[in-house]
Amino acid sequence: MNNWLLTPALLAASGGMVSLRGVDIAIVTIYFVMVLGIGFYLKKYTTSGEDFFLAGREMTAWVAGLSFVSANLGALELLGWAGNAYQYGILAAHWYWVGAIPAMLFLGIVMMPFYYISKTHSVPGYLQLRFGRPTSALSAVTFAVMTILMSGVNMYAMAVVMQVVVGWDFNFSIWVSSLTVGVYVALGGLFSAIFNEVLQFFLIWFGALLIPVLGLVEAGGWSGVVARIHQNFPDQEFTHMWRPMENFADNPMGVHWVAIVFGLGAVLSMGYWTTDFLVVQRVIAAKNIRSAKMAPVIGAFFKMAVPFIVIFPGLLGRAVLPFHLVAQSAATAGQHSYDEVLPLMLARYCGPGLLGLGITALIAGFMSGMAGNVSAFATVWTYDLYRPFIKKDASDAHYVSMGRWCTIIGLVISIGAAYIVTRFGSLMDYVQALFSFFIAPLFGTVLLGMLWKRMTGAGAFWGLLAGTVSSIAMFTMVELDPSKVTLFAFYPQAKPLAQDMWRALWSWIICVAVTVVVTALTKPRTDAELTGLVYGATELPSEGEFPIVKRPIFWAGLCFAVFLILQWIFW
C-alpha cells in the first residue's frame, strides 16, 4: 500500500481538517434530496430502452454539451489534477487543452456524423455494424472492465476526501454516495444521469470557484502567484507549458514535447474523447445530427475554462502552502500527499456556508463521475454483451430491467474494485494507465474504420487485441524492472504520466500496423454494406441552408483559435 493512503487515517483520528456547521450540513442535504428527486421524477419518462439508455435522443445541443463536459468533471478531475498541478505545475493544463480541445472538435466535426447516422447506442455498437461481433465483443469487455475500475476510484476518492476534510467515516461516505447514484441512475437511466450532470456542472463551478478567486486575492493576482512560486522553488519551472519541454530534464514531469503532442494530443486524448462511450453516449443522445455535432463544440469552450477551477488550485498551493506541508510520501503526521492538495486549499479558504458549498461541489463531482461510468456500463453490458450473447430475443422491457439491475450490480463491484488504486502513486497515474491500456488502441481501430473502406473485421480484431496486449505488457515490464522504462519512454526518470503518453503512442502504432497487415491479407466488405458507416460510402447531410455563424464548423474554428491563443499566452 502506498504511503499517500495513510494520511486520511491519521487525520480521521483527529476529526479531519474542518468541521461542518449546521448551514453546511443543510446545503449538502439539500443536494442529495435534489438528485434523488430528479431520479424519481424522470422514472415515468423512461419506459423504453431508447429512453433509458439514450435519453430518448431528445437532448438539445446545450444540454448534451454541458453533460458531455460534466461527465468528465468528476472526482478524478477535481482531486487528481489539483494534485498533479501541485506536482508538475502548469504542465498539467496540457490534459485540458492539447489533451482535450482538438479531440473534442474532431469528434463533433468528423466522427459524430457516423455515430449518429448509424443510430448506434454505443461505440462497441458501431464496431459491430462496421466489423462484426468479435471486434464489438472485445471492445465491450475491455470498456466494461475500465468503467468498473473508473467508477470504483471515484467512490474511493470521495470517501478519502470526506474522511480527510471533515472526518466522516470512510465506509459511510462510500455507501451513501454509491447508493444515491445507484438509485437515481437505476430509476431514470441516462435521462437522470444527464440532468443531474447539468445540475452538477453548475454546482461544481459555483463551489470550486471559491478557491481560485480567494487565492488570487491572497496572492495579489496571477503575477503574485508566479512571483511566489519562483521565490519558493527557484530551481524548478512550474509556470510555463511549452518552454521547459525541449529537454527531458528541464521539467518536473521528465517529458519531451513529442510525447505531449503525439502521445497525449494525437492518441490518448483523441481516443478518450472520440471512443470512450462514457462521454460519447451523452452526445449520441442529442435530438438531431446538427445538435450532436454542436454539443462537443459547446463543451470544448467550457473545457478550456476548467483549468481555472481544477489546475489553478494545485498551482496556487505551490505559492501559498508551507513548503514542507505536501510531499509525495505523506508518511508522517502533519504531511499530506499530492492528492490532498485540494482539500487543504478548501480548508484554508472556506468558512461556514462557503465550506458547505465547496463540499457540495466536491460531492457533485464525485457523483457525476460515478453516474457517468455506471450508466455507460449498464448500456454496454445490456446491448453489447447480454443481448447478443446471452438473451437475444427478449422484450424491450426486459432489457430496461436488466439495465436497472446491472446499474446496481456494477456499483457493488466498483466498491470492491476501488481498492486497486492503492497500488498507484496518485489518482491520475491510475486513470491514465487505464486509458493507455484500453482507449489508445481502440482509437486506432475506430479511426481507421471510419476513414478506410478497405479495412476488414479481422484486421480490426487483431489490431485492437495487439494494441491492448502490448500496452499492458509494457506496463508490466516496467513494474517488474523499472530500468526498462527507457525502452519506450527514452528517459530513466520519466514519471508515470510521461510513461502513459509514450505507452499510448506505441500501442496505437502497434494497433494500426497489425490492422494494416491483417487487412491486406483478408477480404473487405462491399461499399453497399458500408453505407452510413465509413467516409467514401456515405452521403453526409448538407448544412448549406444554415448561415455560416450557425454551422458547427464555424464555432469549431473559433474555438480552435482561442485554444491556440492560450498556448501562446502560457508558452
Q: How confident is the model at residue 1 (pLDDT cuts 50, 70, 90)?
A: very low
Whole domain around residue 111: which residue ranges? 3-19+26-423+559-569
Question: 240 in a domain, yes or no?
Answer: yes
| Alpha carbons 418 and 169: distance in angstroms, whole number | 16
pLDDT value, residue 365: 66
CA–CA separation, 493 and 512 (whole Å): 29
Q: Answer yes or no: is pLDDT of 351 > 70.
A: no
Q: Are 47 and 198 in contact (CB under 8 A)?
A: no
Higher pLDDT, 563 or 56: 563
**Does residue 184 or residue 134 have the better pLDDT?**
134
| Res 500 pLDDT > 80 | yes
pLDDT for res 496: 81
Residue 50: is its pLDDT beyond 60?
A: no
**Residue 478 Ramachandran class (φ > 0 left, ψ -120 to 50 alpha, else beta):** alpha
The pLDDT tens digits for 279-315 are 777 777 777 888 888 888 998 998 898 888 888 888 8
* The pLDDT of residue 166: 67
Residue 457 maps to a domain:
no
> What's the whole-number average pLDDT of the chain?
78
Nearest to 284 by CA among 415, 449, 107, 129: 107
Task: Say what the pLDDT of residue 3 is.
Answer: 32
CA dist., res. 258 & res. 267, Å (int): 12
Q: Is residue 167 part of a domain?
A: yes
Of all residues in the chain, what percent carry a pLDDT higher than 90?
Answer: 12
The two counts, helices (H) then strands (E), for the chain are 27, 0
Q: Answer yes or no: is 372 within a domain.
A: yes
Reported as a single tens digit per residue, the pLDDT across 388-418 is 888 888 887 787 788 778 777 777 777 776 6
C-alpha cell read off for 234: 527557484
pLDDT of 327:
59
Whether pLDDT at 508 is above 50:
yes
- Residue 14 pLDDT class (50, 70, 90 cuts): very low
Residue 427 has pLDDT above 70, yes or no: no
Domain-embedded: residue 250: yes
pLDDT-above-70 percentage for the chain: 79
Q: For residue 334, what pLDDT is reported?
A: 56
Mean pLDDT, rounded, for 525-553: 79
Evaluate whether 477 touches 148 at the Cβ level (below 8 Å).
no
| Number of other residues whose CB lies within 10 A of the CB of residue 504 | 33
- Average pLDDT of 160-168? 69
More confidently predicted of 282 and 478: 478
All cell numbers assigned to 382: 445490456
Q: Give the span between the Cα atoms of 69 and 80, in whole angstroms.
A: 17
**Does residue 235 lie in a domain region?**
yes
Predicted pLDDT of residue 499: 87
| Gap between the terminal Cα atoms of the chain | 38
- What's the CATH number where 391 sits? 1.20.1730.10
Q: Which is more confidently placed, 273 or 335?
A: 273
What's the pLDDT tens digit per position in 110-125? Answer: 888 777 777 776 778 8
Whether residue 428 lies inside any domain: the answer is no
| pLDDT greater than 70 at residue 505 | yes
> Which of 31-35, 124-128, 277-281, 567-571 bottoms out in mean pLDDT, i.e. has the lowest?
277-281
pLDDT classification of 11: cutoffs 50, 70, 90 = very low
pLDDT in tens, 428-446: 677 778 888 888 899 899 8
- The single residue listed with the C-alpha cell 462484426 is 132
Q: pLDDT tens-digit profile of 189-221?
A: 555 666 666 776 777 777 778 888 888 888 888
User: Which range, of 45-54, 67-76, 135-144, averages the lowest pLDDT?
Assistant: 45-54
Confidence of residue 4 (pLDDT cuts 50, 70, 90): very low
Total domains present in the chain: 1
The reply to whether 453 falls in a domain is no
